Amino acid sequence: MSKVLITGSSGFLGSIIKNNILDYTVFELNRNSGHYHCNLKKEIPLVTEFFDLVIHSAGKAHSVPKTALEKQEFYDVNLTGTHNLLKAFEKIGFPKQFVFISSVSVYGLDSGNDINENAPLLSKDPYGLSKIAAEQLVSNWCTQNKVICTILRLPLLVGANPPGNLGSMIKAIDKGFYLNIGGGKARKSMVLATDVGRFIALIGTTGGIYNLTDGIHPNFKELSTAISVNKNKKKPFNLPLSLAKILGYIGDLLGSRSPINSSKVNKITSTLTFDDSKATAMANWKPQSVLEYLKENSL
């Protein structure tokens, strides 16, 4: 049976990918568990097997850096960690396929509709910049060593106990603290983590760069309502946009002491969606609606 190495397989996405990769003998690389124990930002792993497929899902996200050291951490994990992983195969042999988990953050946009894979990479924050650099590193390495390269640019990930902004939304709704702004009309792309795993299984030896979404792009009102119903909570209240802008302006004056500012208000109330037609056409991929998932599964 073919062998697959999954980095970050103990994380939210990696653990779900692991359970959706069939027809492979799975090997795991993590800092404290799995077949290979390694802190990729500090060392090159001692790989002892040849792998047909490598899925690199280990990385740093879901935090806003406040210091130079915290900003550097994104490069240490996402870029240096990727470099160290690639170096590991120079002695044992290059895999046939390499899948790199990236992010739609590389586009550097706070608003837009149906952004496709040909859009320029304009990110200016440490997370997005580190992912851009790692994408280029992986792409060049795969070309040089004749490895089939697949790069997945992912939006908000959905599943049980999700991290990041969705996890924060679920906790806020659970505690009765969540508010929609301006009617919650802004749409955002998102995708089920299980569908990411299914796409990897389908793409086979094709390779390429792909945005993955559920194709529905629910708005905040639809999403928060579905979560509220799922958890038997009252539907969230609405904060008028005019009032939110005033609070954002006050936040601008207060600086880092405020949990909200004008930039955050604009981001929350702006639609940002991505085009996944390349993925659905190339792999006959049919992702599930996030809203349908929320109706049928506990969070």
Q: What are phi and psi of 293, to 5 degrees?
A: -60, -45
- Written as six digits, the tokens of 54 are 């490598």
Do β-strands 53-56 and 36-37 pair in parallel, antiparallel, or remain unpaired?
unpaired
Q: Mean pLDDT for the chain?
A: 92
**CA distance readout (Å), 107 to 76, 102, 137, 213:** 21, 11, 17, 15
Mean pLDDT of 254-270: 83
Q: What pLDDT, in 10s, does the model give residues 146-178?
A: 999 999 999 999 998 898 888 888 999 999 889
Alpha-carbon torsion 285, 290, 292, 298, what sign?
A: positive
Rounded Cα distance, 224 and 239, in Å: 14
Rounded Cα distance, 286 and 273, in Å: 18
Rounded Cα distance, 241 and 229, in Å: 24
pLDDT band at 257, cuts 50/70/90?
confident
Which of 5-19, 224-238, 246-260 comes out lowest in average pLDDT?
A: 246-260
Domains, the chain, ranges and CATH?
2-154 (3.40.50.720), 160-191+215-273+289-299 (3.90.25)
Q: What pLDDT, in 10s, does the model give residues 62-73?
A: 778 889 999 999
**189 or 255: whose pLDDT is higher?**
189
Q: What is the pTM of this model?
A: 0.94
pLDDT at site 190: 96
